[in-house]
Structures are given as structure tokens and as C-alpha cells.
Amino acid sequence: QPRDRDYSDLCQLPDLTEQTLLENLKARFERGHIYTYVGSILIAVNPFKFYPIYNPKYVGLYQNQRLGDLPPHIFAVADAAYHAMLRSRASQCVVISGESGSGKTESTNLLLHHLTALSQKGSYGRGVEQTILSAGPVLEAFGNAKTKHNNNSSRFGKFIQVNYRENGMVHGALVQKYLLEKSRIVSQAKKERNYHVFYYLLAGASDEERRELHLSRPEDYHYLNQSQCYTLEGTDEAFEYTRLMQSMEMVGFNLDKRKRLIRVLSAVLHLGNIEFSKKSTYHSDEAVQVKNPEVLSLISSLLGVKEETLNSALTTKRAKAPGETLVISYKMPEAIATRDAMAKCLYGALFDWIVMQVNHALLSAKDFREHRGNSIGVLDIFGFEDFGDHNNFEQFCINFANEHLQNYFNQHVFKYEQEEYQKEGIHWKNIEFTDNTGCLSLIEGKPHGLLCLLNDQCNFSGATNAMLLQKFQNQHKNSPFYEVPQKRENAFLVHHYAGRVKYQIKDFKEKNLDLMRPDVVMVLKSSSVALVRELVGADPVAVFRWAILRAFFRSYHALKKPASHGRSIGGVKKPLSYKRTDNLVANQGVSSSRRSSFGVSGCQGNLGATSCPVHRGDTHLCANEARVMERANQIMMKNRHTRSRSRMDKGLKNLQSVKTVVGKTHPHPQQRTGRKQPPTVTAQFQVSLSHLMEALSQANPFFVRCIKSNADKVPCSFDEKVILQQLRYTGMLETVRIRQSGYSVRLPFEEFIQRYRVLLPRGLISSRSDIRDFLHRVNLDRNNYQMGKTKVFLRESEK
């Protein structure tokens, strides 16, 4: 390869080897070209530096351009997916993959920016497009954190589905989240931090908020000071707090919601500062008590619970015995574990609630039913991780998800394509690739995969992590994908597609169960703060449905008095307007027993015929749920002939919209069965992954492979060893080979005629011989196309 030339598409390399591939990427990187194509696949090398190639000029430049006509760019992929959706009327997806720190989240944000710009047709910052863009900073603040490998690491996965009308305009979106890393709430490794939002809050809160919430410095909180890392280079966290509040407002979090939310955040921080000491009484030498009751008092005030009941829940547990209930004091490790479990539960539930609120803001009326076609999904999921001797349960789940994504890539780039060549009978020599199905079988195979063994052990209260490790080794010691450490330690190794990773077995069982003591749950359910009760509600559908009804009644009573006085605009009286929802209850398939579980707090699970308790901050409603629903329906029926008002419609979305929102946030709610405990974390995660892979399989994929330029996050530094390792385990050399030799354009005969009708002679029918004769006449290079049994196969250059 000439030194003075680089190729924007690796398929153009005249001499394809591992070295020429690496040299080409390096030459482009040194010229400031961080994007390179492999056919329609985009390679994005993270420079750890901002380049001015994302302004409105570039947005306009890449609109309505064929992939490859302009220099490689993330905007070009977004444009290609958008126009493929409009052309085919079928769902598209963009799968962004790479290890932690490779730039996946930034690539996601840029993709969404361009997709919304395409919809707005030059009208920036309006409507649902702006809501989609504002959701990003909100989710990042609560779900991203600094790690050793990445200053803005996503500690959860998300799949954002942007839905379009037939004219190409955005009309709604949905966010699905996967596996928030809750253990980060209570502890972090050296040089790492907790979630961004805590530091934003402490840096940017007003004086009034500081007094009201008793906020201090990060150094003063146990949940923030363990790693001795408090700042993020190049980040003004007070500014980020202001930006977060503005973004939340754009997504529909009003001032009241934001205030309630930061009260919970403050409570989580202060929970970590609760200390325990041993009681000095003669009969309880191992029992503990709260050492600093003033912190307990502060937390009980923030959460709206009684100090005595919170103290009891953190230091004792109740156990049932024949004819009596025993109160057993916690020992020190149990008390600390209960405190930390409470903090993790609160934050995890808060994150779910935020995603649910975001989805409610992003939904349009047409999204209430399951959306089909005319959508583009963007997947931004946690990257492959290897922290040496410090990998744990979280890394195991993250890398399991990445195995699935690599398998999806292999299937689409290698397996399906080569199977189609064979099926169509064209001349083709198979290209070998590294298949990772064996590793997936090790992890999730039934009945003896690692996840099955883990979940089985979680069903036995006496099982330990050491026993689990022994089961792993007994079952899989001869597997080529499993390895026992050479020196005796509580760990095991898995041979992933990206390399060998050692996992410490410590806390696997506890993290998989992710349980919180019933005593603590009951304390939170008794809270006088509506949000706290909602966060621990047993039924998220009921909780969210009640929130909508509560908002409706507030709006109705606020507007009723002005309306009765004939309030007018421009001299014309405006009647109250409500959207007709005749079948809000009766025809939604909700049984009476199901409705009875719909309580004001969403926590106790049953109102029966009793009156609702009145809590501060709630609308004064004391009728049971059936009467409330009936009254709501009467009011809406009374106003059914009036024109809808958009502000009121927000609060009157029907039951199906609520089910849609909650279903996407909680795709696998716990079933009310006779199970003794809820589904494990990995069981739920497997269901989520299964749904994700099903959604991806039904869409036409575009791939963005993110590459980390160096391990130390140094700007504009190209570490050949680090990059070569990533190119190898992603199978990039084989990918270039199949893209060079393969036929990326595969059109059925009828579609070929429809697409190239202008060039074809009149009367041409969709027969193999007619199309073959036409291709001969236009003098296409015979090496660049082949005729199959039912399709025309073209190389990208002949498209």
C-alpha cells in the first residue's frame, strides 16, 4: 500500500492482510479520519478528542446521500438506515458494538441527532424530536459512571426504537433498558465513581436545596468516598446539573417531580452514612444498633417514614414460628447488607421509574398498539469488559450479552449470507469465521449451563458460592470454553470471543437474587411520600395507572372552577375538553380481581372496599378504585363531543398506553404465582436478551464497530497492539474478506425490475433469462454480479 494513500473502504485494499488493514486505519487516523467502511459496515476509532465534523453543515451534507458517495461518517449510516426504511417500509436497526470506552454511547447520540434532523427537515429542536434528544442526557446522568476504561461508561444497556409516519416524520419512540449495575451504588473500585447524577447534584444544587436535603461534599458520603475519586477531568458538574434539570423538563419532569426525585437521591446518599455498633447489653453481644441516630432521623424525614420503624427494619428481622413471630437482631454484616440492599433497591426502582416517565413522554397515540414497520432501532449496550482479577457477576452478565451481539453479527455477516449463496446456487467459496455458539452454550445451555446451575443454587437457602463454583467445575472442567485457574482460588475462567476472562465467584448468588428484606419494603410502602410508595409498588401497571388518574383529577378540579365561570379566549367560551375513552375499563380485558389490586399507593396490592388513606401530596380521594374509575369515565363521557386539548390528552392516555409504557420498561413482570421468590436477575436478563434478539432478527441491520484507540484514554494516540487485538477478536479481517468477495446487494427478480425500471427495455418480465440478457447488454463486469435461482447478486460497486 502506498504511504501517501489510504482507503476509505477496507474492501478496496489491493493486498489484504492483518498488517495492511492496521496500517490503513492508522494512516487514516493520523489524518483525522476516524471513520472507515467495510462495505456497509462502519468502523469508528475513538480518538478521545472532539472533531468538528458533526455541526449542521455535516448534517445537511449527508442527507439523502448513498452510502459510500461521501467520506465515511456516522451520519451516513443514519441516512442509509432512514432511506432503507422509507424504501422498504420495513424496520431497520443499527447495532453499535465495541468494548468499554470505544465510543458507543457517543455514536448513539450522534445517530439519534441525525435521525431526528432527517425528520425535522430543517426545523430543529421542536416536538418529539427534541424530547428524544433530551432523553439522552437524563438517562446518561442516572445510568453512566466513570470506570477505569471509560469516563462515561454506560452501566446499563438501552435499545431506542424511533417510530416514523409514512412520510418519514418522527411520531414517537420507546426506550428499553437492560440490567442496571446496582452494586455501583454502594461500592466502586479505585479510580472509579458512582453514577454521575450524585456528583452533579452535590455540585449544582441551590442553597435552598442544600439546606433542605442536607447536602454536603462527595468526600462526606460513604457511597462516594470509597474510591477516592471525586472529579471528572474536563467536566463542569454544576453546569451538568443545570443541563440535567433542563433536559428533564424537556422530557416532562415538572418541578414537583424533580424535587421529589432529588429527595430520594439524597436519601440514598445518606443511607450509606448510617453506621452500626454492637449493643452492650448482656444478652445480645452480637446484636447491633444504629450508631448515628441523627442520620437515621434525616433519612426518615426525606423518605417520609417513621424513624422507629426504619430503625427496626435496619437492625432486626421478623421470623415466623408456630403461634408467634420472632424478632431477631442483626449482626454487623447483616445490618450493613440490609442497609446497602435498601439503597440499591431505591436507586434501581428510581431508574425504572425515570425510564417509564421518559417512555410516557416519547409515546404518541399511534404507539399505544404494538408498532409494526417504519421504525429504526439503535442499540447501545455495555461493552465487553475485562478488569483482570476484579471481574464479578456484573462483568459476567455484560460479557454474556456481548457474546449474543457477536453471534448476531456472525450470523448476518457470515452464516446467513453464505447459506443464501448456497441456496441460490451461485459460485462461492466459503470463508471460515470464528463461531462463538460453543461459548453461548456453556453459559446458557440447558440443563447444565452456567446460568442454569446458578439459578438452581439460588433456590436453596443453604447453598453457597463455593458450592456453586464446585458445580461449575464438576460440570464443565472438560469444556474448551471453561477453565479452572492454575492456582487454587475462588474463581473460574471463560474463553469468550474477545479473550479469556477470569471471574471471581464472590457474591454471585447474592447479586443474582437481589433481594430486599420484606421489613424494609413494608417501611417504604408506609411512606407519606407518593413517589417512594410508587417505587416499591408491587404492580407497576397499577402504580402508573393510578398516577395518570391522579393527574387527571388534579387537572379537572383545577380547571373546573374557571370553566364554570365561562372563561373565554378571544371572546369565545371554551368548554372543558376530554378525549373520549368509552371503554377505559370495561373493554380493556381487566377483570374485577385485577382491578381490585389497583391501590392508591400501588404498594399494598389490595384496596377491597375500604377507603383510601389520604397522604400529604395526594389528591383527596377516598372512594375505592372501581368508583374512582367510574367517576373518571362519567366525566370523560360528558365531554366526549368537545375538541381535545393537547395538554389534557397527556393525562388521559388510555389504559393500553399505560400497558405499552410499563410493558417496555418491565417486559417480564413477576407473575403472581406460588413461587417463593421472584425471578433471579439472570433469569430476567435472559428474557430481556431474548426479546432484544427477536426484535433485531426482525429488522434489517446496519453495523457500527467501535474501536478504542488506546487503553489510557490519551487523545489522538493510535496504539497498534490495542487496536490489533480488537480487530482480531471482532473478526475484522474475515469481515473484509467476505465483503470483498461477497455480494452485498441481493435483489429478487421483481424488485430488480422495479428498482431499475428506467434502464430496462419495455415489456421485460421478471424471468431469469430476460434479466441475464439485460445484464450482458449493459456490459457489467462479470466478476461483479451473479444470477441466482430467484435473485440478482451485485457487488456494492455495481449498485
pLDDT for 537 equals 77
In the block, residue with C-alpha cell 431469469 = 768
318 DSSP β-pair partners: 327
Q: What is the DSSP string of 113-138?
A: HHHHHHHHTT-TT-HHHHHHHHHHHH
Q: Roughly how many angstroms between the first and final C-alpha of the chain, as a whole number? A: 26
Topology of the domain covering 10-182+375-386+699-741: Kinesin (3.40.850)
HSE of 316, CA atoms in CB hemisphere, 13 A: 15
Q: Binding site annotation covers 104?
A: yes
Closest CA to 336 of 510, 202, 525, 512: 510
Phi, psi of 71 (to 5 degrees): -55, 150
pLDDT-derived band at 367 (thresholds 50, 70, 90) equals low
Could you tell me the sign of the dihedral formed by the alpha carbons of 752, 755, 756, 761, in that order? Answer: positive
Phi, psi of 324 (to 5 degrees): -160, 165
The C-alpha atoms of residue 450 and residue 686 are separated, in whole angstroms, by 13
Q: Binding site annotation covers 534?
A: no
Q: Binding site annotation covers 102?
A: yes
Which H helix or E strand runs over 164? strand 157-164
In the block, residue with C-alpha cell 448476531 = 408
The C-alpha atoms of residue 64 and residue 656 are separated, in whole angstroms, by 36
pLDDT for 798 equals 67
The C-alpha atoms of residue 349 and residue 517 are separated, in whole angstroms, by 15
3-state SS, residue 476: helix
Rg for the chain, CA atoms, rounded: 29
Angle of the 332-362 helix axis to the 255-271 helix axis, nearest 10: 160
The C-alpha atoms of residue 102 and residue 97 are separated, in whole angstroms, by 9
Q: Binding site annotation covers 103?
A: yes
3-state SS, residue 323: coil
In the block, residue with C-alpha cell 456528583 = 199
CB atoms within 10 A of CB 538: 19
Instruction: Locate the domains of the chain by residue range.
Output: 10-182+375-386+699-741, 393-505, 540-665, 745-798
The C-alpha atoms of residue 76 and residue 111 are separated, in whole angstroms, by 9
- Contacts for 283 with CB less than 8 Å, ≥ 6 apart: none
One-letter-per-residue 3-state SS of 508-521: HHHHHHCCCCHHHH
**Do residues 400 and 721 touch, judged by C-beta distance below 8 A?**
no
Averaged pLDDT of the chain: 83
The C-alpha atoms of residue 270 and residue 385 are separated, in whole angstroms, by 30
Mean pLDDT of 752-766: 72
Q: Binding site annotation covers 182?
A: no
In the block, residue with C-alpha cell 442516572 = 142
For the chain, percent of residues with pLDDT exceeding 90: 63
Residue numbers annotated as active site:
100-101, 105, 150, 153-154, 383, 385
Mean pLDDT of 590-596: 36
Topology of the domain covering 745-798: Alpha-Beta Plaits (3.30.70)
Instruction: Classify residue 492 by burial, with Cβ atoms within 10 Å: 0-12, 13-18, 19+.
Output: buried
pLDDT in tens, 449-487: 999 999 999 999 889 999 999 999 999 999 999 999 989
pLDDT-derived band at 111 (thresholds 50, 70, 90) equals very high
Determine which of 152-156, 158-162, 217-221, 772-776 has the lowest per-residue pLDDT on average: 772-776
Estimate to the nearest angstrom the gap between the alpha carbon of 113 and the chain centroid: 18
Q: Binding site annotation covers 767?
A: no
For the cut 70, the answer to whether the pLDDT of residue 163 exceeds it is yes
Mean pLDDT of 403-417: 93
pLDDT for 605 equals 33
CA 70-73-74 angle, to 5 degrees, is 140
pLDDT for 667 equals 52
C-alpha cell at 433: 469465521
* pTM, rounded to two decimals: 0.82
pLDDT for 613 equals 36
Which H helix or E strand runs over 647? helix 646-649
- Looking at residue 384, its amino acid is F
**Do residues 546 and 604 touch, judged by C-beta distance below 8 A?**
no
Instruction: Classify residue 596 by burial, with Cβ atoms within 10 Å: 0-12, 13-18, 19+.
Output: middle
**Do residues 542 and 602 touch, judged by C-beta distance below 8 A?**
yes
3-state SS, residue 166: coil
Torsion on CA atoms 138, 144, 145, 148, rounded to nearest 10? -150
Closest CA to 349 of 130, 527, 136, 202: 527
pLDDT for 609 equals 33
Which CATH number is associated with domain 393-505? 1.20.58.530
321 DSSP β-pair partners: 324
> What single DSSP character describes residue 642?
S
Phi, psi of 62 (to 5 degrees): -95, 5
CA 270-271-273 angle, to 5 degrees, is 65
